[in-house]
Structure formats: structure tokens, C-alpha cells
Amino acid sequence: MNTKPKKKMSARQKSEFIWGWIFILPTMLGLIVLNIYPMIDTVIQSFYKTGDFGKGNVFVGLKNYEKVLGDAEVWQALWNTIKYAIVEVPVSVVIALLLAVLLNKKLKGRSAFRTIFFLPMVVAPAAIAMVWKWLYNSNFGLINNLLHIKVNWISNPQIAIYSIAVIGIWSVLGYNMVLFLAGLQEVPKDYYEAAEIDGANGFNKLMHITVPLISPTIFFVIVTRIIGAMQVFDLIYMMIDLNNPAWKKTESLVFLFYKYSFEQSKKGYGATVVVVLLVVILILTVIQLIGQKKWVHYE
């Protein structure tokens, strides 16, 4: 009596085991060939110097890493990337949060506004960068001519990276806002009613009710946006020509990775740069994971 159901169970288990593996096989094979192996290979390559003219790669140990640490261009690129992220992430998060709060009411045209704000997300950054380059044009651009100023938005090394960060903010605003709107939907309305009875104004409600209640969403957006911003490439590649005087002050880490690996064929050194990027992103993420305990409230 006892053995029969048990045996049946194991037949079921066996079939789940077989079909489970068959179902995940294509995905796992793909992931191993396309991602897991490449990840390991990139790390290995970072210990090699790419051979010239068909000569094999030479194992150089930690030489690439020593070189990276002493490479002023890498440090400058890291600094440029951080400058970009420091402007893009907080500004886009704050504006997106405010817009989400405004749109979280019963307003006429609510979905039209949402559609407009989100629009840059479906357009290739290559096209976006071309338009902004034209808007920023110092002689004939719309911005300078409309405001009657003469600013070299993308050729002044002091400000070029921030001008690019503005495009980043413009591009990602609607995306952040949609994520915040989803978070706001879960905030119970009665919290606000209670606060209103206590005489709280809009700003008080935002800081003391909205922000704490959607802090998990805010945290998620900040973490993922920092990861995204640290990988900035398209906008910079499109905006900055080889003869732009702001070149050195706008190159990002991924840009350097591209330049070394594919324009100069120094794949070993390119691999080292990208491993450094991974480590930087990892450190930033871990710091945030530790820091979240101070301000993120999970229910």
C-alpha cells in the first residue's frame, strides 16, 4: 500500500527532472557560451598582453593592472564617468519623483504626459545625440540662439561632460518616472488624508509620507541608474569628435574600453579596463546596499 504512491511520486519527480533540464537547456547553453565563458575569458585576458601581428598573447601577470593604476587617461576617464553619474542620477531621480507625484493625481491628460515624458526611451541614443549636438551647436544651435548666449556646450572641456549629462537626464527622466508611478500606486491614500487633517503641506507630505513609503523603489532606481550611468558610452561617442578639445575631459571608462579593445586592438588592456569598471560598479553597489539600512523602509 505504501510503496505504490511513493513509486508514483518518483516517476513524477523523474519526469520533472528530465523535462526541467530539457526546458532550461537552450537558455543555459546560451548563457554559458555567451556570458559565463566570456566573463571568465575577459578576466583571463586582462592578465595578457595582446600579441602584435599575429604573435600569440603574452602572459604579463598583473602588469596590465599596474599600468591601469598608473594610467592618467584611465583615472581621468573614471573621474569623467563619475562626474557624469553624479549629475545624471540625482537630478533625473529628483525630477522624475516630483513628476511622478504630480502625475499620481486624477488629472486630465495624465496618460498623454506620461507618453511624452517616456518618448526618449524608444529612440536610439545615436539619433538623440545627433539632435542634441545640433541643439548645442555654439554658432547655429537652437539653445544659444534662443537664449542669446554663446556657450561652447560640448567643446568647452570644463562643461562638456555636464552638457552630456543633461542629455542623459532628458533621456531617462520618463523611465524613472514610470517606475516611481508604479511605486506610488501602492501608497494608501488614507496616509495623506490623515496628514492633511494634521495640517501638513505638500512638501511635508512628500518628505514624510511619499519618500519613506516608496523608498524601496527609490533605492532600486538609484542602484540601477548608477550602474547604467557608469556604463555611459553612446552619448559620449556620438557627441565628441576626435578633434573636440573636450575629448580628454569627456571620455568615459566604457569609451576607453571600446577604444583600446576595438580601435587599437589592445584587447588585453581593454579587458583590464572593463574589469576595473566591474569592480568600481561592484563597490558602488555594495556601499549602497550597506547604506540603505539607514533610509530604506521595507514593510
Partner 1 sequence: MKKKIISNTIIYLILIFVSVTMLVPFLWMFLTAFKTVAETMQVDPFVIIPRVWQTQNFGNVIKAMDFVRLYANTLGMVGLRILFAVLTATLSGYAFARLHFKGKNAMFALVLLQMMIPVQIFIIPQYVMVSKLHLTNTIMGLVFPGVVSAFGTFLLRQAYLQLPKDLEEAARLDGCNIPQTFLFVMAPLTKSAMVALGIFTAVFAYKDLMWPMIVCPDNRATTLASALAKMNGQYQQKYPELMMAALISCVPMIILYIIFQKQFIEGIATSGSKL
Provide, rounded to whole angstroms, the least separation between the CB of residue 12 and partner 1.
9
All three cell numbers of 161:
561632460
All three cell numbers of 68:
591601469
Which residues share a beta bridge with 195? none
φ, ψ for residue 56, nearest 5 deg: -65, 165
Nearer to partner 1, 191 or 220 (CB): 220
Q: Rounded to whole angstroms, how far apart are CA atoms 17 and 11? A: 10
Nearer to partner 1, 31 or 158 (CB): 31
* Short-list 67, 132, 87, 80, CA closest to 248: 80
Nearer to partner 1, 158 or 272 (CB): 272
Which among 66-74, 151-159, 183-191, 223-231 is the span making contact with partner 1, rule CB under 8 A?
Answer: 223-231
103-122 residues near partner 1, rule: CB under 8 A: 103, 105, 107, 109, 111, 113-122
Nearer to partner 1, 181 or 213 (CB): 181
All three cell numbers of 194:
490623515
Provide, rounded to whole angstroms, the least separation between the CB of residue 259 and partner 1.
11
Provide, rounded to whole angstroms, the least separation between the CB of residue 9 and partner 1.
11
Nearer to partner 1, 108 or 158 (CB): 108
User: Does 178 contact partner 1 by CB under 8 A?
Assistant: yes
Provide, rounded to whole angstroms, the least separation between the CB of residue 98 and partner 1.
8
Asked whether the beta carbons of 250 and 236 are under 8 A apart, the reply is yes
Nearer to partner 1, 161 or 271 (CB): 271
Q: Name which position in 57, 73, 156, 170 contacts partner 1 (CB under 8 A).
A: 170
Asked whether the beta carbons of 117 and 174 are under 8 A apart, the reply is yes
Asked whether the beta carbons of 135 and 142 are under 8 A apart, the reply is yes
Q: Rounded to whole angstroms, how far apart are CA atoms 10 and 212? A: 49
135-164 residues near partner 1, rule: CB under 8 A: 135, 137, 139-140, 142, 145-146
Q: Which alpha helices (H) appear in 185-266, and where do they start and end?
A: 189-197, 202-205, 211-213, 215-230, 234-239, 253-258
Provide, rounded to whole angstroms, the least separation between the CB of residue 236 and partner 1.
11
Contact flags string 71-100 toward partner 1, x per CB under 8 A: ------------------------x---x-
All three cell numbers of 60:
604579463
Q: Amino acid identity of 34?
A: L
Dmax over Cα atoms in the chain, in whole Å?
92
Nearer to partner 1, 79 or 134 (CB): 134
7-66 residues near partner 1, rule: CB under 8 A: 13, 15-17, 19-21, 23-24, 26-39, 41-42, 45
Nearer to partner 1, 75 or 262 (CB): 262
CA dihedral 138, 141, 147, 151 (to 10 degrees): -20
| Residue found by looking up cell 561617442 in the block | 237
275-294 residues near partner 1, rule: CB under 8 A: 275, 277-278, 281
| Residue found by looking up cell 573621474 in the block | 79
Contact flags string 238-277 toward partner 1, x per CB under 8 A: x--x------------x--xx--xx----x--xx--xx-x
* Short-list 129, 111, 221, 203, CA closest to 166: 129
